Amino acid sequence: MLRNASVQILKQFVRHASTDTSLILERSINKVQLLGRVGQDPVMRQVEGRNPVTIFSMATNEMWRSGEGETTSADVSQKTTWHRISVFKPGLRDVAYQYVKKGSRILVEGKLDYGEYVDKNNVRRQATTIIADNIVFLSENVRDQL
């Protein structure tokens, strides 16, 4: 009921304000795809009054050659980046908790989310999280389990 009223108000606002070019609504995209390996077994957390969430870490690797035209393996550099993955979708959350395991190779599709929290030392921290919309299992052993 409230959503319908909000949509109606938004439609009227857009219709009324369409002559003002600074108020035209634009479409935007917040989409992430990560292909890598799971760093820890998932944990499911639930805060009182909220839906549960499955959380795990995931590593992606970037490799490059340093030097001009060199082909020896000593010239290859690598950087590992760690990502925090949160799964809120009820069906996907449960599948991730049950089947995602440390070392699994997976593809995660989702969106970036930035937030702040206060740590146990009362210091304000920033956190970047990937909110997963889809997980594709690439490890052979997981496919056999599903």
* Domain residue limits at 93: 32-65+76-137
Its pTM stands at: 0.71
pLDDT of residue 26: 85
- 88 lies in a domain? yes
- CA 21 to CA 145: how far, in whole Å? 54
**Which three-class secondary structure state does DSSP give residue 8?**
helix
- 26 lies in a domain? no
- 83 lies in a domain? yes
pLDDT of residue 68: 64
Structure confidence by residue, pLDDT tens digits, 28-71: 999 999 999 999 999 999 988 889 999 999 999 998 887 666 55
Please say if the pLDDT value at position 16 is more than 80: no
Quick one: average pLDDT of 21-25? 66
Structure confidence by residue, pLDDT tens digits, 100-135: 999 999 999 999 999 998 999 999 999 999 999 999
pLDDT of residue 145: 47
- 128 lies in a domain? yes
CATH code of the domain in which 114 resides: 2.40.50.140
- CA 10 to CA 115: how far, in whole Å? 27
- 130 lies in a domain? yes
pLDDT of residue 144: 47
- 45 lies in a domain? yes
- 143 lies in a domain? no
Q: 116-142: string of b/e by CB count within 10 Å (b at 16+)?
A: eeeeeeeeeeeeebbbbeebebebeee
pLDDT of residue 107: 98
Number of domains in the chain: 1
- 120 lies in a domain? yes
